[in-house]
Structure 1
């Protein structure tokens, strides 16, 4: 049966029938208005029929009638591209890049097109639902019944007030996954006024280790831009810019020009999409990226190829970087950097290409060639680091070592190199402080449930111990009731019971929580544990929102807005739901949240919001006023008011100016730090918080570094779970280029076009094995196999592929849903997964200095025929 036919199958699960109102005395449509069951059922059937027809029409019509192109933006990954949607007769039928964006322009990646099938997916949640079965578990039917929005808000408000009355409001948690930047309302203001410290984001299962290296060398904790069109040598280190990571639309558009102008080398255990186009592929052994990075630095220094303008030179011009020999620090004068000679003496002098070959599997000759050619093109040369080499248990120092290569060749903040990007002029929302009572002011400072700041979780975001999030650790905090038990969760746009390693821990943790509110478009795995389910708008077409991202030497900010009539009774979780909650709390005597929200006035009229629709729009207008209001103009594109900005849909910064930060990188020394005084300060503060030494902190964080090595980029042997004798393969997780943040698996296009990923197959979840390994184990392509790790097992199909080195099993993340819809799962009604979820076999561990979850090269597996 094809997936398209599967989409048309009847769905049996009672909670999400197309006719959701068949159960109960009536369906609440709109804001608390109930309709007779027969009328509601007929109306609902007609809506669903229209959705089916629209869903099946997508992709089958070659020539559409041209409609109105309305600006919007895509949050399907962290590219955050500016888009336009073609609306015909109130229906979105096509998306494309927004030509007004100086980042991605008219180019669009494949992910954005899947948004159409998401929008018109008949499996979307259609109205609020309430759990009636108190038992929770994967095989337990929640027995959801439909309720009105007013009833849903009543339940939620009562639980909040109950916990406040019991002096347990700190046991409320707000979780966010993907978001728009209206997130400040639900993620910051609501927890502050309710009085809970527990606003927990998904960030550390996304990218925090990628930010760690650049921060502790050059003082920059954020995503960055890459000046690829002016670069002459590009090393993609675990990055796959034409398939995943950031600014995909832009790089898809310019990559042919990049390949014509620059040499591209890809360092990756598997043959990625970008590797198939590259000039060099270095198939590094999983987890050995650090060895390769310090060896390349060794080559650059011993061959005298560091950038003299940026780094400096020996006083007499004679290169003293000789393998195995220390150098007198007094003989070298640095310009914009700090600690190069210390780095050499403590680490690099012995990190020869021969040494690295034995560990990384990359031939000595290739290490020397790539490092030499890279440095010879400096400063128009860059290293682009992705998550793979650094979101490992000991990935923090690898992140620093890879980042430091940009410092060595002077490509930091330089033409043809890595750029920070411009900021976005925005106005802060009214502060919530005066609406926080004494209880809230006290509770907001309690320890967070994710255990950040504990000895073994420094989470050193921007140099501050305990300032970063440790998302996946929240499950352990809940299970162990450490530092306390969580009694209520309000979560949106997330699915940690699928998207975090050892996902079944989350299922057990969610069982323990008394009351869960989940705000999502589809019934995900996490939704199955919810007590109240609130159906969410689609971020591209049905709600207000905005995001900014950098690329092509510009930063853009796009605006999304409601552009079609909502098919079902859905609301925006970031603003609209919060207004409704504030109203209900005020009805019950707690008016602080509502009174605060009334300060979010329309900047043009000074009118207070009177309902959730006005609140969402006014909040958007208010914070973006410096962009659209000529009287508040600061920089970048200029607009003649709100309507003008809405029509264009995107603001662009001025073009980036090179070398802005060479005189002040924002580190402790203001210089680019090869010996990180910034990291030394942060680690010493964390150690002092626990009355220990830095060495003891690193030991608790599973690092082997001692003494001053703790403050430099260095090779720390990989920390891997599972013994090779029992688990002979290293498991490599990678991202399907059709993942819209893991939320597109219920789109049949996702499966139909799965083979646009190198090595993958249409309509099948496969694990990639080298033919030599497969032959040894008697495995053939299309065999059903079981992959087992120390923490779990999954089932999928085998695919023999030479783009995977021997000793490695690679599998794309994204399949293995046992919920989410009839296409995503093998049997939605019975909770049977389609394929395997990588996170059920990945060990829950962490790069603890940054707080990042370990996803890559830390879990061994074995493979058996099913």
Structure 2
């Protein structure tokens, strides 16, 4: 069934379309017949939360006769203004997707491969859990529990029961999260300037200037409902500048668009800093000033350090001397492809708006091979104008008082303790992979490196894995490596809602609840100056034979392991988890889920607990209202001590210097050698300041003449919505894209030179591989580049996502042409910034 945009809006405003092709749903039939399907008195609004992105907005579902027919924002949410974006609407179709995994299954075809039918057959939960626990006990019997790995994709607030406790009590160090394939590099800049490793909040209501570094906040990234609701006001009161090779939704709503050459954002950032300093436009209340008031920041001039007295910052003169003194807009224009006069104009406007100015970081500018210093330079601009924790600037956000996972150390036996001391399988901390999360060598995660480690058996062989809510052979760059790694993996259990590409390699498949509507959990996040925690509840009875993927599965596994002679995990659950309302220990997986959820969130809904935020009267009050909000954070909170080595906002990062020197000492070498090993060009002290690095690209320009870049869709629910009709029908809400198609956007001038027209089938080839999709000539991409949205190209997932399940994809998966490479200082996957060149052929 195809529907028009008008009918879609009618459906959203009334009851919503459940799923095309599904019979027996009155709302669907009535809508198809044009009947009035407005919510009736028999329905009920029930609170839950969306996990379509990392904002985790509090929402409400309208339930009639046990069916979800509509969603809306939770009116109690201060972070989202009680609004939602398009993503939660798609969740209804995900819930009623006929292609969902409905029961546990086991593989009967021992041969694994992309073109191999697993020949799954249904089994009971008991058989499935028994098979998994047998494999785990075999590893313990052989004294090698470290050869087990748990892969975590998107997760909720109860994740640590499975991710941390179950893995570590069993005896493996290998709890591997997905985070570095979609983030981490953007956290590098704020940490090594102000010691804050997290996403930031932004004071949009008070700002007067926004610099979007590859961000598209009205459509993707984070805080979308908040930004959608307030962006019109921001545009009225502030100047918005979007730096992006694509005319994104945010760029279209900006006063200035800077279509940068992919990967050259760093040149713009340091040139803007040059203008601010050379023209004396820095915020003197925050940064300080020259002792005699005379500006010595002149082109090419070395400035004496002692001539400047800083206030809340450290290293401004060193930064100038080491990097900025020659980084003029004219120099940046040659590299970034942006006119020098526009760079001057933007720099002056940004500085004059101080401190109500925001330099908004995103993965688009930072997740490239040499992207760490780009994110440092972009965030350093917030320091130059004094907008850090200031009115109209960038904010850290308020904390949400939650309980932590109870200590499991007492439940680890000698085998567990020995196993957890083994090296992590992702090679974090290796010389060429510092992964310097929060200043610690090996502190971060290198999710995408695990495929190489498994294939090379370095540091050892992996013999079994459990994966929850992840699809690594689709979502990781160099996707072909994951297919090979999973082909040779002896045993894989996959917990999933839909049968994805990863499921095709599984030995056991377990059906997961559709998280928004069938699962009990919670999540916390921040937006609009408020931190919050939102409840996620089963607003309807699960449609299929599902068990909570985090808590329920962990309990069933613990019971099975106990029967086989390893009771430690079950003892831990029964002893350390109690229902705060009754004081009782759980006796089954349903009770365990609720007891642990209440235990973690107890401080939020207990009216006697001290906290800075909403007052809730009981657990049921939390469930009903659905969200707990903090108070607004205080401005200037960390100005007296940012947490860096100098306690100041660091332009010359003593914090990064200590981290790099520590990693170098660990490997008995020098920082210069570490820079070379991590593919950076910096030498000497330049490694400790935000600086320009020439982007590293795969492919020779002669053979591969175009720079490829990808972007995100406002309809991607963590890349899991492609099997819904609404995703395909309304894909053209993304500028330049087309409904029911997967298009590569090519500038018309380039299309003419290639003899390619819109609608042509083309093959895109990089040094990594080839994909086939449709050409779209569009002025919204700069010449010499090709832009393509991420999310299509599934060869599994369902009969809508794939043209032929298991065989023929709908379009092409970008990760099959993006090479596997890394921003090694943070551990992030390099997927943006034009990391690869491509060639285009008409098919």
1:567 and 1:385 mapped to 2: Cα distance?
Answer: 40
| Number of residues of Structure 1 aligned to a counterpart in Structure 2 | 823
Aligned residue in 1 for 2:185: 209
Which of 81, 102, 125 in structure 1 is aligned with 2:78?
102
Shift of 1:631: 2.4
Superposition pairs of residues 567-646 of structure 1, within 5 angstroms: 567-598=543-574, 599-646=576-623
SS at 1:684's partner residue?
Answer: helix
Q: 1:238 aligns with which of 209, 214, 219?
A: 214
Distance 2:39 2:790 in 1: 34
Aligned residue for 1:541, secondary structure, equals helix
Structure 1: runs of 5 or more not aligned: 5-46
Preserved CA contact (<8 Å) 1:397 1:714:
yes
Query: What displacement does 1:443 show?
Result: 1.3
Q: Please, which of 780, 790, 799 is the counterpart of residue 822 of structure 1? A: 799
What corresponds to 2:10 in structure 1? none
CA deviation after TM superposition for structure 1 residue 546, in Å: 1.0
Match of 2:737 among 737, 742, 760: 760
1:63 maps onto 2:2 in alignment: no
Among 65, 85, 89, the alignment partner of 1:113 is 89
Secondary structure of 1:739 counterpart: coil
Deviation at 1:589, TM superposition (A): 1.5
Contact 2:169 2:412 in 1 (8 A): yes
Residue 358 and residue 88 in structure 1: after superposition, are their counterparts in 2 closer, same or farther (change >3 A)?
same
- 1:553 — aligned with what? 529
SS at match of 1:228: coil
Alpha-carbon distance, 1:633 to partner = 2.8
In structure 2, the residue matched to 1:127 is 103
Match of residue 626 from structure 2: 649
1:56 is displaced (CA, Å) by 5.1
2:144–2:419 Cα contact (<8 Å) kept:
no
Equivalent of 2:675 in 698, 701, 707: 698
Q: 2:148 aligns with which of 164, 172, 175?
A: 172
* Cα pair 2:20 2:725 within 8 Å, conserved: no
Indicate the residue corresponding to 1:412 in structure 2: 388
Q: In structure 2, what is the Cα distance between the partners aligned to 1:224 and 1:748?
A: 34
Matched, 1:372 2:357: no
CA contact (8 A) 1:171 1:485 kept: yes
Q: Which residue of 2 aligns with 1:716?
A: 693
Equivalent residue of 1:490, what SS?
strand
Q: Give the match's secondary structure for 2:549.
A: coil
Aligned to 2:773: 796
- Does the 8 A contact of 1:459 with 1:848 survive in 2? yes
| Kept after mapping to 2: 8 A contact 1:51/1:121 | no
Contact 1:48/1:122 (8 A) holds in 2:
no
Give me the whole-angstrom Cα distance separating, in 2, the residues matched to 1:243 and 1:210. 18
Of stretches 537-546 and 413-422 in structure 1, the one that deviates more from structure 2 is 537-546
Compared CA separation, residues 445 and 55, structure 1 to 2 (3 A): farther
Distance 2:621 2:27 in 1: 33
Query: Match for residue 345 of structure 1?
Result: 321
**1:533–1:51 CA distance, 2 compared to 1 (3 A):** farther
5 Å matches for 1:244-323?
Answer: 244-323=220-299
Provide the rounded CA distance (Å) in 2 between the counterparts of 1:483 and 1:711.
31
Q: CA deviation at 1:634?
A: 2.0
- 1:143/1:376 CA distance change after superposition, 3 Å: same
Q: Does 1:842 align with 2:825?
A: no
Shift of 1:58: 9.9
Answer whether contact 1:768 1:809 (CA < 8 A) is retained.
Answer: yes
Q: In structure 2, which of residues 649, 661, 665 is the aligned counterpart of residue 688 of structure 1?
A: 665
SS at match of 1:93: strand
Change (3 A) 1:585 1:48: farther
CA contact (8 A) 2:158 2:550 kept: yes
Q: Give the structure 1 partner of residue 16 of structure 2.
A: none
Q: State yes or no: 1:538 paired with 2:507.
A: no
> Structure 1 residues 760 and 57 mapped into 2: Cα distance closer, same or farther (>3 Å)?
farther
Query: CA separation in 2, counterparts of 1:619 and 1:424?
Result: 17
Corresponding residue of 1:518: 494
Quick check: 2:579–2:598 contact (8 Å CA) kept in 1?
Answer: yes
Aligned to 1:399: 375
Q: Distance in 2 between matches of 1:591 and 1:56?
A: 49
Cα distance in 2 for residues equivalent to 1:190 and 1:836 = 37
2:718 match? 741
Instruction: State the distance in 2 between where 1:243 and 1:81 align.
Output: 14
Partners of 1:791 and 1:391 in 2: how far apart?
Answer: 18
Return the alpha-carbon distance in structure 2 between the equivalents of residues 840 and 65 of structure 1: 48
Deviation at 1:385, TM superposition (A): 1.0
User: Deviations along 1:672-702, whole A, 9 cap, x unmatched?
Assistant: 0000000000000100111010000010000
**CA offset digits 1:360-399 (Å, max 9, x no partner):** 0000000000000110010011111111111000000111
Structure 1 residue 183 corresponds to structure 2 residue 159 = yes
Runs of 4+ in 1 over 3 A off after TM superposition: 1-4, 47-62
Q: How many angstroms apart in 1 are the aligned matches of 2:28 and 2:261?
A: 44
Structure 2 residues without counterparts, runs of 5 or longer: 5-18
CA contact (8 A) 2:48 2:539 kept: no
**8 Å Cα contact 1:771-1:802 kept in structure 2:** yes
Contact 1:193-1:435 within 8 A present in 2 as well: yes
The separation in 1 between residues aligned to 2:562 and 2:654, in whole angstroms, is 50
Distance, in Å, in 2 between the alignment partners of 1:52 and 1:104 is: 35
Task: Name the counterpart of 2:12.
Answer: none
Secondary structure of the 2:257 match is strand
Alpha-carbon separation, structure 1, partners of 2:323 and 2:566: 59
Contact 1:517 1:534 in 2 (8 A): yes
SS at match of 1:732: strand
Rounded Cα–Cα distance in structure 1 between residues aligned with 2:31 and 2:468: 30
Alpha-carbon contact 2:202-2:392 (below 8 Å) kept:
yes
**Matched-pair contact (CA < 8 Å) for 2:260–2:338:** yes
CA RMSD of aligned residues (A): 1.5
Contact 2:731 2:740 (8 Å CA) reproduced: yes
- Aligned residue for 1:658? 635
Say if 1:798 and 1:58 are closer, same or farther in 2 by CA, change over 3 A.
farther
Q: After TM superposition, give the deviation of residue 55 of structure 1 in Å.
A: 9.3
Per the alignment, residue 471 of structure 1 pairs with 447
Kindly provide the CA deviation profile for residues 35-89 of structure 1, in whole angstroms up to 9, marking residues without a partner as x. xxxxxxxxxxxx9996774795597575232511111101111121110010111
Helix, strand or coil for the counterpart of 2:477? Answer: coil
Query: Secondary structure of the residue that 2:775 maps to in structure 1?
Result: strand
**2:135 and 2:79 mapped to 1: Cα distance?**
45
C-alpha distance in structure 2 between counterparts of 1:58 and 1:369, whole Å: 56
Contact kept in structure 2, 1:3 and 1:748, CA below 8 Å: no
Deviations 1:625-658 (A, max 9, x none): 1111122232211111111111111000011110
**1:783: which partner in 2?**
760
Q: TM-score, normalised by structure 1?
A: 0.94
SS in 1 for 2:438: helix
User: What do residues 214-267 of structure 1 show as CA deviations (whole Å, max 9, x unaligned)?
Assistant: 000011000110101100111111111100001101111111111111110100
- Cα deviation, 1:9-46, whole Å, max 9, x if unaligned, reads xxxxxxxxxxxxxxxxxxxxxxxxxxxxxxxxxxxxxx
What is the DSSP-based 3-state SS (H/G/I as helix, E as strand, rest coil) of the residue aligned with 1:613? helix
Match of 1:161 in 2: 137
Q: Is the Cα contact below 8 Å between 1:664 and 1:671 reproduced in 2?
A: yes
Deviations along 1:324-345, one digit per CA (max 9) or x if unpaired, are 1010011100000000000000
Alpha-carbon deviation of 1:429?
Answer: 2.7
Offset at 1:105? 2.7
Structure 1 position 553, deviation (Å): 1.1
Partner residue of 1:17? none
For residue 508 of structure 1, the aligned residue among 474, 484, 494 is 484
In the TM superposition, what whole-angstrom CA distance separates every residue of 1:340-367 from its partner, at most 9, and x where no partner exists?
0000000000000110000000000000
- State the 1:548 CA deviation: 1.2
**DSSP-derived class of the 2:467 partner:** strand
Query: Contact 1:382–1:411 at 8 Å: present in 2 too?
Result: yes
Q: Is residue 52–residue 122 contact of structure 1 (8 Å, CA) maintained in 2?
A: no
Q: Is residue 524–residue 819 contact of structure 1 (8 Å, CA) maintained in 2?
A: yes
